Chains A and B, each alone.
Chain A
């Protein structure tokens, strides 16, 4: 009978991705480019929030956007038309998330000369993108009021990896049982350091606070 030889590996499957992500972050640091990974559910108003934010920032810093979706290029076109900045569409080919290697391929498709900030709009999904380090400097997510204030309880990992949670669609708060203080409490259970910024992307209310946070982050990344 054939014998079986066992080769021990004992290695997390995420280890290689984490190594790739660290390398990517280091290269971006050398180039002075800040990468922000933006995550959310589908329909939370990610693209609308992004357009508002970019229009507040585009005269102060130079921005490019990578839109990741399973298919279509509607978001990349929308961003380009509404802001005039460089945008690129990434197709994940059915995958539910981006990893560091896919992010690198996307960055290779952008002209990073003179760019201060790249925003990666990740695939709309609260589960899988949280598992994979993209190489971004920070993670931000958008939670919209109609989704409910209990989302941090249901998707703990997503909220624990995010540095900023933007609560969007606050104009419809009177019509939903969404308790913003409770939501803040749930977010802080997952991540005590997370910053919570309530906004309405449609009217622009609060978006300046998100834009200010980005500006501080980018200038810190470039100088330290």
Chain B
């Protein structure tokens, strides 16, 4: 359940951004979550609802999640491939000399604020 810990980090960062921008209510938080980040979006959403509604700044605030597909790059043949399907071994040349290009993101992309 490290989703709960992550929710506390999101709340801390959103509060800080809200403070810097003189915002008193946030209507949505948009996250980029990588496919292989180990964060489970459904658990994150549950933890979010529980924790966010305790904060006046985030009451009813929606958590929107963009899933970032994981892509691995092979250093030997120079090609990119789908990480989830093939793992650490390159499907083109069978090399294990590969690294993750993207897909482990857990980042706050932006927040949405209603203009009243």
Contacts and interface: CB of A to CB of B under 8 A. Distances in A.
Interface of A: 2-14, 16-17, 94-97, 99, 127-128, 131-132, 157, 189
B60 to A, nearest CB: 14
A12 B14 CA distance: 12
Contacts of B114: 2-5
Contacts of B106: 12-14
Contacts, number: 81
B11 to A, nearest CB: 10
A4 B27 contact: yes
Contacts of B9: 13-14, 16-17
B1 A4 contact: no
A157 B38 CA distance: 10
Contacts of A95: 1-2, 4-5
Contacts of A4: 27, 112-115
Top 4 closest pairs, chain A to chain B, by CB: A128-B2, A13-B9, A3-B115, A9-B108
B17 interface: yes
B23 to A, nearest CB: 7
A73 B31 CA distance: 37
Interface in B98-115: 105-115
Given A4-B113, A9-B108, A13-B108, 15 more contacts: A3-B115, A4-B27, A7-B23, A9-B14, A9-B111, A10-B110, A11-B13, A12-B105, A13-B13, A13-B107, A16-B13, A94-B4, A97-B5, A128-B1, A132-B5
Interface residues of B, number: 29
A132 B9 CA distance: 11
Interface of B: 1-2, 4-6, 9-10, 12-14, 17, 21, 23, 27, 38, 88, 96, 105-116
17 contacts: A2-B115, A4-B115, A6-B110, A6-B113, A8-B109, A9-B13, A9-B14, A10-B109, A10-B110, A13-B10, A14-B9, A16-B9, A16-B13, A94-B4, A97-B5, A157-B38, A189-B88
Contacts of A11: 13, 107-108
A127 B39 CA distance: 11
Contacts of B38: 127, 131, 157
Given A2-B115, A2-B116, A131-B38, A10 B27 contact: no
Contacts of A12: 105-107
Given A9-B13, A11-B13, A99 B5 contact: yes
A94 B112 contact: no
Contacts of B88: 189
Nearest to A129: B2
Nearest to A4: B112
Nearest to A2: B114
B21 A7 contact: yes
